[in-house]
């Protein structure tokens, strides 16, 4: 298991996401941003909009995805 925070993934807070893969933490971040936005937390809007744009244009978001995978791979195990 490794941990990345909301901030590590482009968000505004230090909520920790743990997973076995970068995909695990990316999916947790996506859910976190959606929940924050649904609760009216405007501090997460910019990050949520950026995440939504990456899901809508996977080719365009590939650089962010590859960077996130590499940063995850470079992390030590928890």
- Mean pLDDT, to the nearest integer, of 3-14? 97
Task: State pTM to two decimals.
Answer: 0.90
- Determine the Cα–Cα distance for residues 39 and 22; give it in Å rounded to an integer: 26
The answer to the question of residue 78 being in a domain is no
**Domain region containing 50:** 2-73
d(CA 11, CA 6): 5
Q: Is 22 part of any domain?
A: yes
Give 20-69 pLDDT, tens digit per residue.
Answer: 999 999 999 999 999 999 999 999 999 999 998 988 888 888 999 999 99
Query: How many domains in the chain?
Result: 1
Q: Please report the pLDDT score of residue 2 as a whole number.
A: 98
Interacting residues of 19 by C-beta distance below 8 A, sequence separation 6+: 1, 2, 25, 27, 28
Q: d(Cα 35, Cα 31) in Å, to the nearest integer?
A: 6
Strands 2-5 and 16-19, bridge-based pairing: antiparallel
Among 2-6, 12-16, 60-64, the range scoring the smallest mean pLDDT is 60-64
């Amino acid at each position: 298991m490794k941990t990345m925070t909301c901030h590590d993934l482009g968000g505004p807070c230090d909520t920790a996401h743990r997973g076995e893969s970068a995909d695990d933490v990316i999916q947790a971040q996506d859910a976190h941003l959606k929940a924050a936005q649904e609760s009216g937390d405007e501090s997460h809007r910019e990050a949520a909009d950026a995440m939504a744009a990456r899901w809508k244009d996977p080719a365009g978001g590939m650089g962010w995805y590859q960077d996130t995978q590499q940063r995850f791979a470079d992390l030590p195990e928890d």
